[in-house]
Structure 1
Amino acid sequence: MTFSVAVAGASGYAGGEILRILADHPGFEVRTVTAHQNAGQPLVAHQPHLRSLRHLTLSDTSVDNLAGHDVVFLALPHGKSGEIASQMPEGTLVVDCGADHRLESPESWAAFYGGEYFGAWTYGVPELPIGDGKQRDQLVGTKRIAAPGCNASAVSLALAPGIAAGLIEEEDIVAVLAVGPSGAGKNLKTMYLASEVLGSASPYAVGGTHRHIPEIQQNLRKAGAAHPTVSFTPMLVPMSRGVLATSTARLKPGVTAEQVQDAWETAYAGEPFVQVLPAGSVPRTADVLGANTALIGLAVDAEAGRLVTVLALDNLYKGTAGAAIQSANIALGLEETAGLNVNGVAP
């Protein structure tokens, strides 16, 4: 069976990555692509690398143009997905790659985003440990999926096994991330210009203001934490895509490096896309470029009494589009790995 697909926000980075994956997906057929300012223009005018989809023209992002498809992916700015989604037919699988449906707390939404709160959908990180299972179980048969924030899924996947296994403290978690500017979309802002990014590293959203913080806390609570505290600092670095998340937490007394390695390997055993590296190894962003893969390296800083995790993922692939399509596969009863690449691009 082939499912018909529409992609809203198809001229942006996230929309383009969704289309790049869907172009070779055996179970999906892209029939409609939409945009706002770029409506009426050929898709390849904005996504020239998508040669197999060069026959498509961007139409206006409206409910009328999106309805009538089996699956709709929304790659829209926050505040825009909710407006569209609220009018979509209940039987359509809608996957929001924006932020509008990630947070379960209206208070957190008001504090970090503001504007109308549209409610929480099924969270799209299948491998995330929750209780005695995985988030994957919640995705089966759902019709509404909230794809994750790339930074949030990186930190959550890196630390959730330690919370679930009772090996790390939930307070005093610190995460510092090197991120590529494509995570911010095609925004014409000074800080994203090549002359500002090249040869420089720039922290932003410093001091607990980043919008992914409540999402991380929400995920860690699902893994078993009661009141996790997270100090989160992203750093813009000169690479077009990628996230390298270094997340640390205090170890509980007596926990050994061997216990840590075993807990993470057990948590992600059999997972095709989240892989734990051998002890003593850490990943690079280059290792996951163009793949739906998250690689995790672990170390114990015995002197400081802290666990150090290093996780690498491609923010546009595993961090956004790949997670969305992987979750859609599960919801529709397809093979979870269908259309998704585990091998990166090198050099």
Structure 2
Amino acid sequence: MTFTVAVAGASGYAGGELLRLLADHPEFDITTVTAHSNAGAPLVALQPHLRSLRHLSLAETTPEQLSGHDIVFVALPHGKSGELTAHLPESTLVVDCGADHRLASPDDWDAFYGGEHFGAWSYGVPELIVGSHKQREALAGARRIAAPGCNASTVELSLAPGIAAGVIEPLDIVSVLAVGPSGAGKSLKPHLLAAEVLGTANPYAVGGTHRHIPEITQGLRWAGAADVSLSFTPVIVPMSRGILATSTARIAPGATAAQIREAWESAYADEPFVQLLPEGEVPRTADVLGANTALMGLAIDTAAGRVVVVTAVDNLAKGTAGAAIQSANIALGLPETTGLTVNGVAP
């Protein structure tokens, strides 16, 4: 069976990555692409790398344009997708790559985003430990899915196994991320110009202000933490795409090195897209470029009494578009890996 697909926000980075991956999906047929200010333009004028989709033109982003499709992927700024998706049929599978449906708490939404809270949808991180099971159980048959924030899912996947197993403490967690500027979207922003990014590293949203913090703490509570305290610092570095997240947490009293490693090994042993590297190895962002893969290295700093997890993802692939498609596959009962690859692009 072939499913018809529309992509809203197709002119941006997330929309472009959705289309790149969807173009090779054997069960999905892209029939409609939409934009706002770029409506009316050929898709390849905005996404010149998508040669197999050169027959498509960008329509206006309206509920009328998106209705009638089996699947709608939405890649719009926060506050915009909630207004739009409220008008789509309940029978349509809608996957939102924005923030509007990620947070269950209206207070968290108000504190970090503001404006109307549109309510939480099924969270699109299949591998995330939620109590005694994985989040993929909540995605089977879903018709409304919130794809994750790229930084948030990277940190959640890094630490959830240790919290679920009780081998790390959820208080005094520290995560520092090197991130590519494509995560900030395609809109012109002076601080993301090449002249401002090349040859330097630029911290931003320092001191507990980043909008992915409540999403991370929500995910870690789902994994079993009674409470979470997190110091989260992202740093823009001169690579177009990618996240390298270094997260550390205190070792729980009595936890042994063997128990700690076993927590991560058992959590991800059967996961195609989250892979724990052998002891002593850590990943590079280059290893996951273009792939729906999270590569993870685990170390134990005995002197500091902390576990160190280094995780690499492509923020546009596994961090956003890949997670959205993976979750859609599960919702529709397709093999989870359909249309997705674990292989990156090198050099």
Tell me how far apart the structure 2 counterparts of residues 52 and 260 of structure 1 sit (CA, whole Å).
Answer: 46
Q: Deviations over 1:163-220 (max 9, x none)?
A: 0000011100000000000001112111100000000000000000000000000000
- Residue type of the alignment partner of 2:181: P
Tell me how far apart the structure 2 counterparts of residues 164 and 7 of structure 1 sit (CA, whole Å).
Answer: 36
Tell me how far apart the structure 1 counterparts of residues 59 and 257 of structure 2 sit (CA, whole Å).
Answer: 54
Q: Normalising by the residue count of structure 1, what TM-score does the alignment of the two structures yield?
A: 0.99
Aligned to 1:91: 91
Aligned to 1:18: 18
Tell me how far apart the structure 1 counterparts of residues 276 and 22 of structure 2 sit (CA, whole Å).
Answer: 27
Q: Is the 8 A contact 1:44 1:51 kept in 2?
A: yes
Cα drift, residue 327 of structure 1: 0.1
Alignment of 1:155-194 (within 5 A): 155-194=155-194
1:8 paired with 2:8, answer: yes
Q: Normalising by the residue count of structure 2, what TM-score does the alignment of the two structures yield?
A: 0.99
- Runs of at least 4 residues off by over 4 Å: none
Tell me how far apart the structure 2 counterparts of residues 36 and 27 of structure 1 sit (CA, whole Å).
Answer: 27
Aligned to 2:129: 129
Task: Give the 3-state SS of the residue equivalent to 1:26 in structure 2.
Answer: coil
Tell me how far apart the structure 2 counterparts of residues 46 and 105 of structure 1 sit (CA, whole Å).
Answer: 36
Q: Deviations over 1:131-182 (max 9, x none)?
A: 1110000000000000000000000000000000000111000000000000
Question: Number of aligned pairs?
Answer: 347
Task: Give the 3-state SS of the residue equivalent to 2:114 in structure 1.
Answer: coil
Task: Give the 3-state SS of the residue equivalent to 1:247 in structure 2.
Answer: strand
Aligned to 2:305: 305
Aligned to 1:66: 66
RMSD of aligned C-alpha atoms?
A: 0.5
Cα drift, residue 256 of structure 1: 2.5
Task: Give the 3-state SS of the residue equivalent to 1:157 in structure 2.
Answer: helix
Tell me how far apart the structure 2 counterparts of residues 40 and 242 of structure 1 sit (CA, whole Å).
Answer: 31
Aligned to 1:339: 339
Q: Is the 8 A contact 1:102 1:215 kept in 2?
A: yes
Aligned to 2:149: 149
Q: Percent of aligned pairs with the same residue?
A: 74
Tell me how far apart the structure 2 counterparts of residues 16 and 187 of structure 1 sit (CA, whole Å).
Answer: 14
Gaps of 5+ in 2: none
Aligned to 2:49: 49
- Residue type of the alignment partner of 1:195: A
Tell me how far apart the structure 1 counterparts of residues 272 and 84 of structure 2 sit (CA, whole Å).
Answer: 33
Cα drift, residue 318 of structure 1: 0.2
Alignment of 1:265-304 (within 5 A): 265-304=265-304
Q: Is the 8 A contact 1:280 1:297 kept in 2?
A: yes
Tell me how far apart the structure 1 counterparts of residues 345 and 72 of structure 2 sit (CA, whole Å).
Answer: 28
- Residue type of the alignment partner of 1:20: R
Tell me how far apart the structure 1 counterparts of residues 26 and 33 of structure 2 sit (CA, whole Å).
Answer: 18
Cα drift, residue 254 of structure 1: 2.8
Gaps of 5+ in 1: none
Q: Is the 8 A contact 1:147 1:323 kept in 2?
A: yes
Q: Is the 8 A contact 1:257 1:299 kept in 2?
A: no
Task: Give the 3-state SS of the residue equivalent to 2:265 in structure 1.
Answer: helix
Q: Is the 8 A contact 1:5 1:69 kept in 2?
A: yes
1:101 paired with 2:75, answer: no
Aligned to 1:205: 205
Task: Give the 3-state SS of the residue equivalent to 2:33 in structure 1.
Answer: strand
- Residue type of the alignment partner of 2:159: L
Aligned to 2:33: 33
Aligned to 2:120: 120
- Residue type of the alignment partner of 2:208: G
Aligned to 1:330: 330
Cα drift, residue 260 of structure 1: 1.5
Tell me how far apart the structure 1 counterparts of residues 211 and 323 of structure 2 sit (CA, whole Å).
Answer: 19
Task: Give the 3-state SS of the residue equivalent to 1:234 in structure 2.
Answer: strand
Tell me how far apart the structure 1 counterparts of residues 57 and 37 of structure 2 sit (CA, whole Å).
Answer: 13
Cα drift, residue 269 of structure 1: 1.2
Cα drift, residue 257 of structure 1: 2.4
Q: Is the 8 A contact 1:101 1:121 kept in 2?
A: yes
- Residue type of the alignment partner of 1:211: R
Tell me how far apart the structure 2 counterparts of residues 123 and 27 of structure 1 sit (CA, whole Å).
Answer: 23
Q: Is the 8 A contact 1:242 1:285 kept in 2?
A: yes
Cα drift, residue 253 of structure 1: 1.9
